[in-house]
Structure 1
C-alpha cells in the first residue's frame, strides 16, 4: 500500500503524522509525506527523513488557517492531487480537510479533522458570530468534509462537534491519536512544580487564566510553548515561568520529574501534550470538557474550565499529597498505553483497506 499523507510543521499534526507514518511503515505501508505551510526546522526535517519507507516532500503550499482566502487553498488541493498521481499512491489522507474541496487524485480520499477555525471560534468566543473574514474557511471546510470518502476525528467528543456544526449526514469515524512515550515513569515524583504545554497565545488554551493561578501557588508553574502566534496574537503572562518551545528531548527531561500537569483548554479535539504527560506518569489536572472526560475520565482530576480558584486548590492538593499524586500519575501512565502509534495505525489500516476495496468516488460521504 502506498499512501500520500499531508502534514505541517506548526502544531500537533506534525507529530501525529510522523508517528502514524512510522507505525504504518512497520506494517509495510509506504508513505509520501507532503508538508505544507512554513518550512520545518532542521531537526524536524531530519526526523521525517529518518523514518523508513517515507518519502518526504516540502511542498511550500499554504496552510488554510494562515491564508487570507480560498484561492491558495484550492490551488494547494489541486497540487496535492497532482503529487498523488505523480507518486502513484493508492489513497490520500488529508490532515487539512479543506484540501479535499479541490482534490481530485483519482484515488480514495480520507480526511482527518484535527480542528478548524469555525469550531475553535465557537469555543473561543461563545455567543459571538464567526468573523465574516472566516466565512470562506467555513464553507471550504464543509465542502472538503462532504467531498471526502471518509472523515475521521481523533475523539468522539470532537466527532460530535464536527457533525453538529457542519450538519454532516454521517458521524466521523473515531480513531484516537497515538504517541510513543517520551520517558518511562520511574519511582516517585522528584520535584514539586507544575507544567503546562501548548500554544500559550491561543485563548482557548487558558494560559492567561493559569498565569493568574501561578501568582498564588506555593510552587513554580512552568509553561512550554509559543507565547506569540503567527498573526501576532500575544498572551500577557507575568507569573508563569516561560520555557519557550521545547523539542522532544527537552520536554522529556521536564516530564521525567513527574510534575503536576495542567491543561485549562476549554476546547481540545484530542490533546497530545496531555498524552505525553500521562505517559510520563504525571498527575493530571484537566479542564472539565467532554473530550478530556472521554480520554482521561478515570485517571485525572477535573476542574471547571474557567475557575482559577478551583485550579489553584486542586494543584495545591496534589502538591501536598505525594501519595495521591503518585497514584494518579501511575494510573495515567497505565491508561496512556491504550493511545499508542501502533494502535492508531491498527485502527487506520482497516479504513484504508475498506476504501481501496470500495474504490469509492469523492462525494460518497454526502450521498
Structure 2
C-alpha cells in the first residue's frame, strides 16, 4: 500500500552540471504526480535555459538558483559550510517539510531545522578507497571529515546499491550501512525490432577517472566497429581524457542519446568506481547488450544480464564485444536480458521507495503528512 504524501513540500538539492540533474528532475516529476511539491535548490553553475524550462514544466516544482559554488579543488570546507548554512536558511524560509540532500556536507553542523535524508553517492572517501592503494591524501581529509559530520547529522541515509552502501559504511565508520533505495528511470516504451547497430557506445561523465575510459580506448584499437562516447571528456577544472581510438561525441541532448540507444548498439562501461550507473540503466531499457566491468555495483545490478569483464583487461573486453558482434542471437538474448532486468529499476519502483522514506520522516513532523 502506497504512503500518501499529498501536501508534502520537499526541498531537493541538485547540481545542473552533473548527471544528478536528470535524476532530480525525474524525481520531482514523479513526486508531483503523487501530490508532493518540490523546490530544487541548485548549487554550482546555473542551469541552462533548456534545463530551466524543463523544471518549469513540472507542476508544483520551484527552481531556486543559489549561486553557491561547490569547488572540489578548494583548499578547505569554507564554501561547503557556507552552502550548508544557506540551505538551512532556505529550508526555514520555504517552510519545507523535508530536506533531501545529495551531499552530506550540506547538513554539516546539523543546522537544517527539518527532517533530512541524505543520498550517499560519489564522494572523495569512497572514490579514494576504490581507486587508490595509499591512505587518503591529506588535501582530501577535510572533504571526508565534513561529509562524516553531515552523515552523523542526517535523520536518514540512503544509497543506490548494497555495494555502495557497504563501501560508504566502511569509508566513514558507520555503525550500519545506509538504506538501499535504487534510483529509477522511466522506460522508453516498447522496443521496436532491430538487428542492433554495428557500433559500441558508452556515455556519462567520461572525464572522471573512475569511469576508466582509457581502458575502453585500448579495447577500441582492436575492434572492427567504431566505439563512440557520449558525454564530456573534459572536467570542470579543464583536464581532458586523451583518446586515440574512441570517437568522442561530446555532450549530446538526451533525445539524441535516446535515439542512439534505440538503434541498440553494444553498450560498454569499464568503470572502476560506480555508485549505480544511470547510463547503463538507460542502455538496458533500450534493449542494448551490455559489456560491463566486473565490479561490486555491476555484479549486484546486472549479473547474468550482462557480460562482466575485469575493468582493466582489454583483451577480455575485446573478446566479449567481438563475440556479440559475431553472434546476433547471443547479442539479442543479452539485450533482452538487460531490458528484462531493467524493469526492476523503473521509475515507479523508485518512487515507491522514496515515498516510504519520506513517510518515515514526515511521521516525525508535529502533524505528519503521510498516512
| TM-score, normalised relative to structure 1 | 0.95
Aligned to 1:129: 135
2:356 to 350, 357, 364: 350
User: Does structure 2 conserve the Cα–Cα contact (< 8 Å) formed by 1:223 and 1:242?
Assistant: yes
3-state SS of 1:74 partner: helix
Where structure 2 has 5 or more consecutive residues not aligned to the other structure, the ranges are 1-7, 367-371
Q: Residue 228 of structure 1 aligns with which residue?
A: 234
Q: Are 2:151 and 1:145 equivalent residues in the alignment?
A: yes
Q: In structure 2, how many angstroms separate the alpha carbons of the residues matched to 1:41 and 1:183? A: 28
Paired residue for 2:4?
none
User: Structure 1: where are the runs of 5+ without partners?
Assistant: 361-367
Is 1:217 aligned to 2:223, yes or no? Answer: yes
* Cα pair distance change 1:62/1:40, threshold 3 Å: same
Q: Counterpart of 2:39 in 1: which secondary structure? A: strand
Alignment of 1:236-255 (within 5 A): 236-255=242-261
Does structure 1 retain, via aligned residues, the 8 Å contact 2:19–2:205? no
1:184 Cα shift?
Answer: 4.2
Report the Cα distance in structure 2 between the residues aligned to 1:102 and 1:18, rounded to whole angstroms.
28
Distance, in Å, in 2 between the alignment partners of 1:350 and 1:181 is 22
- Of the three residues 106, 116, 126, the one matched with 1:109 is 116
Cα RMSD for the two superposed structures: 1.4
* Map of 2:55 onto structure 1: 48
Residue 285 of structure 2: aligned partner:
279
Deviation at residue 319 of structure 1 after TM alignment? 0.5
Task: Verify: 1:199 aligned to 2:205, yes or no.
Answer: yes
**Offset of residue 182 of structure 1:** 4.4
Distance 1:190 1:294 in 2: 26
Distance 1:292 1:10 in 2: 25
SS in 2 for 1:262: strand
Deviations along 1:4-23, one digit per CA (max 9) or x if unpaired, are: 00000122211111111111
**Deviation >3 Å, runs of 4+:** none
- Which moved further from structure 2: 270-279 or 183-192? 183-192
Partner SS, residue 18 of structure 1: helix
In the TM superposition, what is the alpha-carbon distance from 1:64 to its structure 2 partner?
Answer: 5.4
Tell me the alpha carbon deviations over residues 176-222 of structure 1, each in whole angstroms, 9 at most, x when there is no partner.
01011346421123420000112222111111111111111011111
1:37 pairs with 2:44: yes
Aligned pair in 2 of structure 1 residues 110, 200: CA closer, same or farther (>3 Å)? same
Aligned to 1:316: 322
Post-superposition CA distance 1:324-347 (Å, at most 9, x none):
111111121121112122211110
User: What is the alpha-carbon distance in structure 2 between the residues aligned to residue 299 and residue 115 of structure 1?
Assistant: 25
- Contact 2:129/2:171 (CA < 8 Å) preserved in 1? no
Report how far residue 62 of structure 1 moved. 2.0
